[in-house]
């Protein structure tokens, strides 16, 4: 029996050397996740990549040959693949330089820290001379940029959020904008050892804490909360928050001494609430017209929040939308007006229910990681602007006060990610992927990204290689010895890059003369604090518990003494009005929170043609698109399609029944899905999670036969400030699918020649 770590949990396994024969939850996990069932069932699925492949058009006609995404692949030997790849890397770096290479990997590939694909590919490209990088993430791209201006560095805040045990003991009212999603709470980058999203909520509720979940899905909070459900029109949370703030201001319920001592810019914001800047008072009647929440309930809620120890928390989902800065900023302003920031159980939270590490006590030790080296290239893009970069080289754009230009990318090197999951408007992304000379992908499976590559190198799964790992803020540091032999000819990323670096003449710089196992020992020994076991003892055990902080309260030190413990904002205070952001002059993100009408919402003109708001949230049955071919993920599908949830009255109005295969459409594209009727979905809303592997129709790339909602979502930035992702919301119509249901191509390998 061996213990292994995934982003969604720790499991114990039995192996016969070729495959896992049993996968069971780790005995230390009080709330284990069924997602672990995907691991064993996916390992030898027919979509595993068994040997290197090269796209036939690229092989026959050279870099830049058309046909990417349509051509068959040619299976080749490792020697042939690495010779072709090393030659192409030499050509691009010699002819175009490092600014023509995009190292486009994302961070979710591996729970192990040495074989972390992003670290591996970035170290390799740094040895070659550098690469164009991305900044921020699809999950938090908007908040990553906003928060340092108004409250502080986001990742520090996440790591030091008020712990869930403090909330359970002290909070009287939790107002959760975007809910406290139990499925998202189950996942942490790097892994989760112990799930307890239900436990702390149960303890808080038993003590008398009330929960109010604000969002379009009633089940975006665990049942143990017994929460009141408020369901405003999606995308209108900022208007609701502004009205709550207006009531606190108008009825003198705001904590003025707190605002004076700990914040800057409140009066500028208050003038907006009072209607003195635009002639519109942001009162409850105004918000009712926008949100659909009755004005009386809004007024009562403001008084309830002012009369209790209240935690205002905003999920990451709200900032993954057009003008996504506004609900985050307005939520902070609302919490500041209540005056409870820095008090046990009160104040502001960002990300409770969005990932498991939010609200966990800060870990006292980091864990060893594979060093990436130094990137000599300063050029970068916000991560969600990849299609713009590929389609519009040389085009100027603005970001966070900077004036930038998109580079001219000739080669994309991807390891450990699937942009055809994360990105929006996939038909546009497919067009963008046709532009570079060469696309290289390491992956274990034939995902949409590998199917749109030129050189495909088969990578191992975590269960097929030695590693160690721990999740962010998770105390359990786990040895992860390989559980089985690799599938087919798959190699780990380190072995691939070591051989490539040998061919390119910098093996010593990349490997430093170490094998993968020697790196694990070296990194551990270099890191090991006094009192922890030596490497051999660690490797033979089931993991070691690292120290964590005692119960923590976010910004308690700041509240106690703002002069000695200032925030990292420009003023050292909470910035309800930001002079810095205001100086940028962005009309789509002014200097304080405002209501800005989204391009697509149920109160706008586009809803006349597309009257349903689609929520494209994270899935329950997998992490992002990982292991979509696994047994647990497949068990949730309807006729092989991703399920879409719809309120019964919306289904009845369209003549649809549970189990129907439906077509979801808008002007960008369409997809098939299997229909589920559920009154936990707000009327006027449809919910289709991301994660189905993109399966475009051969004659229409905007039509996904499998159910990927990102053929429908817009490749539109949240704002000029952040250039963040807006994939959470879009307008659609749903209709019955007519005719035969087309066969899926993603469940089998692509054609070979």
Determine the Cα–Cα distance for residues 709 and 589; give it in Å rounded to an integer: 27
For 329-383, the three-class secondary structure string (H helix, E strand, C coil) is HHHHHHHHHHCCCCCCCCEEEECCCCCCCCCCCCECCCCCCCCCCCCCCCCEEEH
Residue that is written with structure tokens 């996740």 in the block? 33
217 SS3 class = strand
Question: What CA–CA distance (Å, rounded) separates 675 from 660?
Answer: 5
108 labelled catalytic: yes
Specify the CATH class of 605-736 in words: mainly beta
Taken in order 474, 478, 482, 484, the sign of the CA dihedral is: negative
- Which tokens is 680 given? 């936990």
CB-based contact 214:181 (threshold 8 Å): no
Helix or strand run (H / E) with residue 117: helix 117-128
Strand partners, 704: 671, 696
User: How many whole angstroms separate alpha carbon 302 and alpha carbon 212?
Assistant: 12
The whole-number pLDDT of residue 1 equals: 64
Residues with Cβ < 8 Å from 558, sequence gap 6 or more? 262, 341, 342, 565, 566, 567
Q: Are 483 and 17 in contact (CB under 8 A)?
A: no
Distance CA 418, CA 441 (A): 10
Options 3.40.50.740, 3.40.50.10680, 3.30.365.10, 3.40.50.11720; CATH for 47-137+367-545 is 3.40.50.740
Q: Under a CB-based contact definition with an 8 Å cutoff, are residues 657 and 691 in contact? A: no
Fold held by 161-361+552-580: Dimethylsulfoxide Reductase; domain 2 (3.40.228)
Which own/partner pairs from 87-95 qualify as long-range (CB within 8 Å, at least 24 positions apart)? Answer: 88/63, 88/411, 88/437, 88/438, 88/455, 89/128, 89/411, 89/500, 89/504, 90/504, 91/63, 92/410, 92/411, 92/437, 92/438, 93/128, 93/129
Phi then psi dihedrals of residue 399, to 5 deg: -155, 120
Q: Taking CA 315 as the corner, what is the angle to CA 647 and CA 549, rounded to the nearest 5 degrees? A: 140
Alpha carbons 148 and 349: distance in angstroms, whole number:
15
Catalytic-residue membership of 106: yes
Angle 623-183-1 (CA atoms, 0-180°, nearest 5)? 65
Q: How many CB atoms are closer than 10 A to CB 303?
A: 14
List 26, 58, 106, 272, catalytic entry: 106
Catalytic residue among 26, 102, 108, 406: 108
Residue 24: phi and psi, rounded to 5, are: -130, 150
pLDDT along the chain (753 residues), means of 10: 87 86 89 91 96 98 97 98 98 98 85 94 98 96 98 95 97 98 93 92 98 98 97 98 98 98 98 98 98 98 98 98 98 98 98 95 93 97 98 98 98 95 97 98 97 98 96 94 96 98 98 98 97 96 92 97 98 98 98 98 97 97 95 97 98 98 98 98 98 97 98 98 98 96 96 95
Question: Is this prediction's pTM over 0.85?
Answer: yes
* 471 token code pair: 């999740």
Where do the domains of the chain lie? 47-137+367-545, 161-361+552-580, 605-736
């Amino acid at each position: 029996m061996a213990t292994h770590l995934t982003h969604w949990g720790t499991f114990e396994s039995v192996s016969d050397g070729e495959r896992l024969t049993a996968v069971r939850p780790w005995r230390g996990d009080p709330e284990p996740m069924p997602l672990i069932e995907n691991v064993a069932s996916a390992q030898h699925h027919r979509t595993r990549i068994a040997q290197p492949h090269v796209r036939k058009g690229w092989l026959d006609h050279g870099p830049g040959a058309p046909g990417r995404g349509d051509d068959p692949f040619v299976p080749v030997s490792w020697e042939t693949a690495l010779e072709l790849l090393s030659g192409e890397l030499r050509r691009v770096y010699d002819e175009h330089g490092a600014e023509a290479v995009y190292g486009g990997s994302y961070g979710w590939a591996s729970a192990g820290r040495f074989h972390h694909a992003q670290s591996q590919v970035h170290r390799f490209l740094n040895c070659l001379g550098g690469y164009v990088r991305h900044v921020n993430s699809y999950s938090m791209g908007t908040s990553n940029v906003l928060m340092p201006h108004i409250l502080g560095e986001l990742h520090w805040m996440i790591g030091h959020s008020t712990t869930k045990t403090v909330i359970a003991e002290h909070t009287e009212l939790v107002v959760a904008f975007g809910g406290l999603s139990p499925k998202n709470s189950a996942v942490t980058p790097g892994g989760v050892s112990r799930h307890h999203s239900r436990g702390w909520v149960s303890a808080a509720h038993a003590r008398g804490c009330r929960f109010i979940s604000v969002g379009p899905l009633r089940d975006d909070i665990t049942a143990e909360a017994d929460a009141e459900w408020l369901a405003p029109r999606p995308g209108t949370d900022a208007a609701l928050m502004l009205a709550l703030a207006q009531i606190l201001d108008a009825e003198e319920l705001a904590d003025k001494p707190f605002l004076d001592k700990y914040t800057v810019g409140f009066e500028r914001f208050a003038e907006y609430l009072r209607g003195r800047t635009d002639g519109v008072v942001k009162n409850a009647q105004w918000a009712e017209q926008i949100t659909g929440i009755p004005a009386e309930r809004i007024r009562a809620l403001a008084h309830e929040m002012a009369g209790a120890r209240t935690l205002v928390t905003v999920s990451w989902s709200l900032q993954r939308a057009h003008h996504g800065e506004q609900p985050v900023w307005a939520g902070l302003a609302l919490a500041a007006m209540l005056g409870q920031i820095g008090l046990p159980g009160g104040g502001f939270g960002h990300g409770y229910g969005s990932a498991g590490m939010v609200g966990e006590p800060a870990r006292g030790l980091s864990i060893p990681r594979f060093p990436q080296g130094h990137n000599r290239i300063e050029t970068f893009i916000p991560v969600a602007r990849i299609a713009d970069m590929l389609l519009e080289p040389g085009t100027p754009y603005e970001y966070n006060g900077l004036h930038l230009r998109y580079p001219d990318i000739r080669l994309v090197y991807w390891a450990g990610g699937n942009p055809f999951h994360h990105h929006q408007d996939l038909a546009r992304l497919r067009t963008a992927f046709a532009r570079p000379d060469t696309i290289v992908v390491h992956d274990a499976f034939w995902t949409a990204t590998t199917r749109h590559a030129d050189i495909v190198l088969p990578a191992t799964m975590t269960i097929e290689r030695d590693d160690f790992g721990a999740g962010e803020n998770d105390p359990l540091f786990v040895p992860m010895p390989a559980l089985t032999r690799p599938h087919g000819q798959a190699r780990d990323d380190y072995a691939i890059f070591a051989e490539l670096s040998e061919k390119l003449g910098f093996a010593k710089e990349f490997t430093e003369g170490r094998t993968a196992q020697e790196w694990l020992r070296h990194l551990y020994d270099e890191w090991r604090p006094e009192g922890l076991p030596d490497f051999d003892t660690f490797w033979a055990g089931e993991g070691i518990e690292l120290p964590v902080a005692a119960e923590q309260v976010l910004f308690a030190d700041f509240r106690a003494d703002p002069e000695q413990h200032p925030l990292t904002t420009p003023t050292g205070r909470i910035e309800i009005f930001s002079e810095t952001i205001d100086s940028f002059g962005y009309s789509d993100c002014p200097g304080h929170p405002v209501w800005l009408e989204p391009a697509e919402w149920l109160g706008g003109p586009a809803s006349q043609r597309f009257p349903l708001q689609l929520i494209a949230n994270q899935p329950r049955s997998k992490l992002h698109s990982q292991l979509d071919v696994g047994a647990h993920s497949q068990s949730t599908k309807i006729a092989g399609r991703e399920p879409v949830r719809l309120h019964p009255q919306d289904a009845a109005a369209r003549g649809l029944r549970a189990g129907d295969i439906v077509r979801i459409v808008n002007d960008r594209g369409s997809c098939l899905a299997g229909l589920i009727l559920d009154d936990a979905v707000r009327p006027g809303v449809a919910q289709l999670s991301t994660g189905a592997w993109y399966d475009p129709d051969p004659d229409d790339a905007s039509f996904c036969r499998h159910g990927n909602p990102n053929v429908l979502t817009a490749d539109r930035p949240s704002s000029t400030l952040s250039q963040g992702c807006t994939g959470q919301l879009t307008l659609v119509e749903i209709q019955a699918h007519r005719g035969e249901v087309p066969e899926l191509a993603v469940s089998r390998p692509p054609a070979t020649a």
